[in-house]
């Protein structure tokens, strides 16, 4: 049984478990079980997105655990994301309603604008130009999308709203128009890409950072044979040995001590449990500095278009 996962607070006072289960790139047919396993070992925070194309499986996992009486809906913190083809303000509510139907939920705890780029509106997730290589962008500005996100909060469909993959300038543009400030900015964050300037800016603004790919996303579809593997890094392995922990546990603990929310992904029950076993040890100041020194600007999840 994993230890109890503590909650932290957004600037608006909303409570959120510091550790969640990521579901990006989880193989179809395995997500429902992964969600059930995560809830069984104590996770209460589940991160999903329309573009992952597995929200119906996430919803089935949640429904099963609610039906078993293991959790109530209000015990859970469920996040999803508005995809790039739905930035036009009149499409935002419909996009959320599709997500709610897939998840079989009446509201979300957190809804994020997934990327600051808008794609041509329609049912294709990646609408390509005739050359088949470049995506068709839309000219919708995310600054105009934000008030539609705020209306979801007003309607009681979403408890909190936020951003994902936004840089300093893009976050500032939202803050300039926001009646409801973004609760979080979900970004790629790990020792090879620390995003220090962006993290500091968000912290100054009272925006919590959520770290995705904290383990370096070793199973990403576009990984190359000679790409560095974060969990095999000698510094990470040395710290794992020092603390009698796995490299993954060191990397998750690192994010927590940076005051970030963290959402590692796994479909293995053993690893899901192990990833949550990070609350009974602490990295020392020297450990933190050694991990910080691994910075190499290594972005794993570029928005390639």
Enumerate the active-site residues: 52
The residue assigned the tokens 């099963």 is 64
CA angle 169, 22, 128 (to 5 degrees): 60
198: phi > 0 → left, psi -120 to 50 → alpha, else beta; which? alpha
Is residue 190 part of an annotated ligand binding site?
Answer: no
- Alpha-carbon span 37 to 289, nearest angstrom: 34
User: How is residue 162 annotated by DSSP?
Assistant: E
Give whole-number Cα distances, 179 to 10, 23, 148, 174, 225, in Å.
16, 30, 11, 10, 46
Task: Please list, residue by residue across 56-87, b when 16 or more beta carbons sit within 10 angstroms of its beta carbon and e when fewer do.
Answer: ebbbbbbbebbeeeeeeeeebbbbbbbbbbbb
Q: Which DSSP string do the residues of 67-107 spell out, in sequence order?
A: HTTS--GGG-EEEEEE-GGG-SHHHHHHHHHHHHHHHT-S-
Residues annotated as binding site for substrate? Answer: 114
Residues annotated as binding site? Answer: 114
């Amino acid at each position: 049984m994993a230890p109890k996962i503590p909650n932290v607070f957004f600037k608006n006072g909303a409570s959120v478990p510091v550790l969640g289960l990521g579901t990006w790139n989880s193989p179809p047919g395995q997500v429902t079980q992964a969600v059930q396993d995560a809830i069984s070992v104590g996770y209460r925070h589940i991160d999903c997105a329309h573009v992952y194309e597995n929200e119906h499986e996430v919803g089935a996992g949640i429904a099963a655990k609610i039906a078993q009486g293991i959790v109530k809906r209000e015990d859970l913190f469920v996040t999803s994301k508005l995809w790039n083809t739905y930035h036009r303000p009149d499409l935002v509510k419909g996009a959320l309603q599709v997500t709610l139907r897939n998840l079989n939920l009446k509201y979300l705890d957190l809804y994020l604008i997934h990327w600051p780029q808008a794609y041509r509106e329609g049912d294709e997730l990646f609408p390509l130009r005739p050359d088949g290589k470049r995506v068709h962008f839309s000219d919708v500005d995310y600054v105009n999308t934000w008030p539609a996100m705020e209306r979801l909060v007003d309607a009681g469909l979403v408890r909190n709203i936020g951003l994902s993959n936004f840089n300093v300038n893009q976050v500032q543009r939202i803050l300039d128009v926001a009646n409801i400030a973004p609760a979080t900015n979900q970004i790629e964050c790990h020792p090879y890409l620390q995003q220090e300037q962006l993290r500091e800016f968000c912290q100054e603004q009272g925006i919590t950072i959520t770290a995705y790919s904290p383990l370096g996303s070793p199973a990403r579809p576009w990984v190359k044979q000679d790409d560095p593997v974060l969990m095999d890094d000698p510094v990470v392995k040395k710290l794992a040995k020092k603390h009698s922990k796995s490299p993954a546990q060191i990397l998750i603990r690192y994010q927590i001590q940076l005051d970030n929310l963290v959402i590692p992904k796994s479909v293995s029950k053993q690893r899901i449990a192990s990833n949550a076993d990070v609350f009974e040890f602490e990295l020392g100041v020297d450990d933190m500095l050694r991990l910080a020194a691994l910075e190499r600007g290594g972005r794993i999840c570029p928005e390639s278009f």
